[in-house]
Amino acid sequence: MKNMINTDNAPKAIGPYSQAIEKNGMLFISGQLPVNVTTGKIVEGSIIEQTEMVFENIESILKEAGYTFDDVVKTTCLLSDMANFKGMNEVYAKYYSAPFPARAAFAVKELPLSVMIEIETIAIK
């Protein structure tokens, strides 16, 4: 049986999907955007500020499900522009330590709400 994970400390889903689903010790977190849950608005600023907000949202979901960043095995980072890769990587390195999760990072034509970054996450206990 799969369990829906939901927290008020991360943005609500903006469509027919869950913040996260847990099954058999695996947690699948939907792509997180740089939405500040207190204001309900996209974080203004650079890729650094937006990436920090995304990681705060991911952390809230991990915590709600009883996981930590140490449990993350795979991430997918979607960028609005590959010019943002360096800034995203600087923030990313603050949240993970070796052995680092497997990762894909690529630019897409456009992201929801015209943000600069979206990250989806898989964690396993």
- Provide the domain limits for residue 55: 3-124
In the structure, what pLDDT confidence band is assigned to residue 14 with cuts at 50, 70 and 90? confident
In angstroms, the CA 71 to CA 122 distance is: 8
Question: According to the model, what pLDDT value does residue 58 have?
Answer: 98
pLDDT digits over 75-96, tens only?
Answer: 999 999 999 999 999 999 999 9
Integer CA distances (angstroms), 98 to 15, 31, 39, 125, in order: 34, 23, 34, 17
Domain count, the chain: 1
Q: What pTM value is reported for the model?
A: 0.97
70: left (phi over 0), alpha (psi -120 to 50) or beta: alpha
CATH number of residue 53's parent domain: 3.30.1330.40
Give mean pLDDT, residues 27-36: 98
In the chain, the percentage of residues whose pLDDT exceeds 90 is 98
Q: Give counts: helices (H), strands (E), the chain.
A: 2, 8
CA distance 125 to 117: 26
